[in-house]
Amino acid sequence: MPILVGKETRAIVQGITGNQGSFHARLMLEYGTKIVAGVTPGKGGTKLQDVPVYDTVATAKDETNADSSVIFVPAPYAKEAAMEAMDAALNPVVIITEGIPARDEMVIMRYAREHSTVIVGPNTPGVITPGQSKLGIMPGNVFRPGSVGLASRSGTLTYEIAASLTHAGIGQSTCLGIGGDPIVGLSFVDVLKMFREDSGTESLVLIGEIGGTAEEDAAKYIADTRYPKPVVAYVTGKAAPPGKRMGHAGAIITGSEGTADNKIRSLVAAGVRVAEIPSGIPELLVRKVQTVR
């Protein structure tokens, strides 16, 4: 049993006729994802590939029995797109869009709490359950089905590490990006809780970066609950100067908060093995799993 997405997932793509939306809708379909509808206001009644396009999310859902959404809508309109998906009771809602104002993200997350919706992102590569379905923009070919759960704050670094796992013969249960912005839906702790309940996940990889306290919070949760599955991690941004935003809106050291050193220290103290370099992850994982058994 994977988390968040699987074979049965029936997704719509909001912003399906845009550049990114149409390109990735095609790649998701090729991967085997059931993209049952698209939504672009004003383009209702048309088709993209064989996917019917609707003007509103509500009609798309009624006509196709969709259960989740991937959003490619440009930043200025993303807040309302997310609310529209939640009003139609789609869940999870994956927000790929980068550059959404933090204040809009706060409103999205408040709305999500009221609707009990899981938000993946914003500014995320999405979520993939290898061999079954992907809601996102990650290259499907670097992932393999298996039992390692992976959660990350970045995109390409996730592909890098997933590829090294695959190369080492270690497959993945579900991989997701929680998002590179300061305000995102799922925290590492939320993801740890989901993987804890997932019988298909035997061990976990967390890929953290500078900024905020998501990694420290995860470390505390792992220690406090004596987390039952082995966890290994990599944290990037060790060489980043304070006060500078390193590409992601959320990757910034503010005051003494958010340094890579602090995150690594917290994780190590909680019993998480932290790789010094990205390619160190597969070996740590193999060793960690053996020690636990």
Partner 1 sequence: MKLFEFEAKNLASNLGITTPRGAVASSAEEARDIHKRLGGAVVVKAQVLVAGRGKAGGIKFASKPEETFDRAKEMLGSFIKGENVRKVLIEQKLPVKKELYVSIAEDRMNKCQTVLASRQGGIDIEEVARTHPEEIARRHMDPVYGIRGYEARDLALNLGYGGQQLNMICDLLTNLYRLSVIYDCELVESNPLVETQDGRFLAADLRMIIDDNSLFRHPEFQERSKEPGAELTPLEAKARENNLAFVELDGDIGIIGNGAGLVMATIDLVKYYGGQPANFCDVGGGAAADRVASALGIIQSSDKVRTVLVNILAGITRCDDVAKGILDVKKVVGLKKPLVVRMVGTNEEEGRRLLETAGIIPLIHMEDAARIAAKGA
Residues noted as catalytic:
248
Q: What three-state secondary structure class fits 215?
A: helix
Q: 36 to 75, contacts with partner 1 by CB under 8 A?
A: 75
Q: Out of 6, 18, 41, 101, which residue is the one contacting partner 1 (CB under 8 A)?
A: 101
Alpha carbon distance 81, 97 (integer Å): 11
**Sole window of 29-37, 64-72, 83-91, 232-240 interacting with partner 1 (rule: CB under 8 A):** 232-240
**Sole window of 1-9, 43-51, 219-227, 234-242 interacting with partner 1 (rule: CB under 8 A):** 234-242
110 makes contact with partner 1 (CB under 8 A): yes
Q: What three-state secondary structure class fits 98?
A: coil
The count of residues interacting with partner 1 (CB under 8 A) is: 63
Of 42 and 247, CB closest to partner 1: 247
- Other residues' Cβ atoms within 10 Å of the Cβ of residue 133: 27
Q: CA dist 43 to 51, 67, 265, Å?
A: 12, 21, 52
Q: Out of 77, 147, 278, 289, which residue is the one contacting partner 1 (CB under 8 A)?
A: 278
Which H/E stretch holds residue 76? helix 75-87
237 makes contact with partner 1 (CB under 8 A): yes
Which H/E stretch holds residue 128? strand 126-129
Shortest gap between Cβ of 199 and partner 1 (angstroms)?
29
Answer yes or no: are the C-beta atoms of 16 and 51 closer than 8 Å. Answer: yes
Shortest gap between Cβ of 122 and partner 1 (angstroms)?
10
Q: 118 to 147, contacts with partner 1 by CB under 8 A?
A: 137-139, 142
Q: CA dist 9 to 53, 68, 129, 143, Å?
A: 18, 7, 11, 18
Alpha carbon distance 122, 100 (integer Å): 8
Q: Out of 30, 49, 65, 103, which residue is the one contacting partner 1 (CB under 8 A)?
A: 103
- Other residues' Cβ atoms within 10 Å of the Cβ of residue 262: 18
Shortest gap between Cβ of 284 and partner 1 (angstroms)?
15
271 makes contact with partner 1 (CB under 8 A): no
Q: Out of 134, 229, 248, 263, which residue is the one contacting partner 1 (CB under 8 A)?
A: 248
Residue appearing with tokens 């845009």:
18
Residues 6+ apart with CB under 8 A from 22: 16, 48
246 makes contact with partner 1 (CB under 8 A): yes
Q: Out of 250, 253, 262, 284, which residue is the one contacting partner 1 (CB under 8 A)?
A: 250
Query: Both ends of the chain: CA-CA distance in Å?
Result: 22
Instruction: Tell me the residue length of the chain.
Output: 293
Q: Out of 256, 290, 291, 293, which residue is the one contacting partner 1 (CB under 8 A)?
A: 256
What are the two backbone dihedrals, phi and then psi, of residue 104, each rounded to the nearest 5 degrees?
Answer: -65, -40
Of 66 and 119, CB closest to partner 1: 119
Which H/E stretch holds residue 30? helix 19-31
Of 7 and 244, CB closest to partner 1: 244
Residues that bind partner 1 in the complex, under the rule CB under 8 A: 20, 23, 75-76, 99-103, 105-107, 109-110, 137-139, 142, 152-160, 163, 180-183, 187, 207, 209-210, 212-214, 217, 234, 236-241, 243-251, 255-256, 260, 276-279
